Amino acid sequence: MRQQLAKTEHAQLDAAPWIDLEEFNPSYLKRALPLMPKRGDHAPWLFNTDYYVEREELPDLDLDEAALVYQAARQKIQ
């Protein structure tokens, strides 16, 4: 499993949990939340749960941009 991290130039982001627990809070996600990526407070670090919006945005994302660093996850989800 690979985890996506922001480089230090984006270290000023206010990190928030990947999902908003007030809107969506199944137990299996709550248990794994510490292992999941964080979202930021502005684009492109926001997480959207709207399928139709993401369907249009995702094909245009550059997953090789310099701001993204990939590394192995430190823990396994149990």
Q: What is the pLDDT of residues 6-38, one digit of tens each?
A: 454 555 677 888 888 887 888 888 888 888 888
The predicted pLDDT at position 15 comes to 81
> pTM, whole model, 2 decimals?
0.46
Instruction: Give residue 37's identity as a one-letter amino acid code.
Output: P
* C-alpha–C-alpha distance, residues 24 and 6, integer Å: 25
DSSP string, the chain: -EEEEE-GGGTTS--B-SS-TTT---HHHHHHGGGSPPB-SSTTS-----HHHHHHHGGG--TT-TTEEEEE-SS---
The predicted pLDDT at position 1 comes to 43
The predicted pLDDT at position 64 comes to 85
